[in-house]
Structure 1
């Protein structure tokens, strides 16, 4: 017996294509949609055109395959969302990433994370005095082109 043409219980031929071939026993909405589709087309194995496509537009308006295509499209939207969003997700998932050889090595990352020596505090022309770390109350100033340390009382004067 060909498994592709039988349902999950082996109970004979099942329609091919679309959501009709999927088993969603734990999803009441899918069960309702599947029962509605089965009531509309029964055991008809004719392909159902994609909703809104050229073939769908060309079949008669009272053809149950039009309604089946609509239900299948609604179920696909409910389960998987917007087709453009799904395609964008596929594109992102299959994006080409930089090769491992172009990435930094662990030694380079460790070197970048290693603490760097402190930059010495320097007074600058036209800027206010800079507090000196480790010497509370002392400030470094630029006076006549020289770096000079002064207590807070002298800086304010």
Structure 2
């Protein structure tokens, strides 16, 4: 069974088993969960749900830290750069000069109407 199929199978099984045991259950490890009778099916449903969340997302604290970091405000890209630096960065750059290299196939010249740049010993020929 391919890995992707196994993940889907595990997810569907855990979800079905969780909802078979209980539709509503307290969070695993919470005071409400601890207060449940050991044989209460909601205890197992909460454990299955927590295990599935761990399998899919890893440590909840690390996940929440990632969300906080991903959603924090970032400084503007231009912050700390002078107007002259920004103007210099915005200027068009000269076009790249194509150069044929030994051992590589010929390079088609853009706008060259089917011409190719090929490497010959000692010089590049168009």
Q: Which runs of 5+ in 1 are unaligned?
A: 1-25, 112-157
CA positional deviation for 1:94: 1.5
| Distance in 2 of aligned mates of 1:27 and 1:97 | 36
Quote the offset at 1:84 in angstroms. 1.1
Task: Select the residue among 72, 90, 96 that pairs with 2:49.
Answer: 72
Paired residues, number: 82
Question: What RMSD over aligned residues (CA atoms) do the two structures have, in Å?
Answer: 2.4
Deviations 1:3-55 (A, max 9, x none): xxxxxxxxxxxxxxxxxxxxxxx7000111123224423xxx4x210000000
TM-score normalised by the chain length of structure 1: 0.46
Task: State the structure with bigger RCO (CA 8 A, min sep 6), 1 or 2.
Answer: 2
Which has the greater radius of gyration? 1
**Which aligned segments of 4 or more residues in structure 1 are displaced greater than 6 angstroms?**
none
Alpha-carbon distance change, 98 to 62 in structure 1, aligned in 2, over 3 angstroms:
same
Q: Name the residue aligned to 1:53.
A: 30
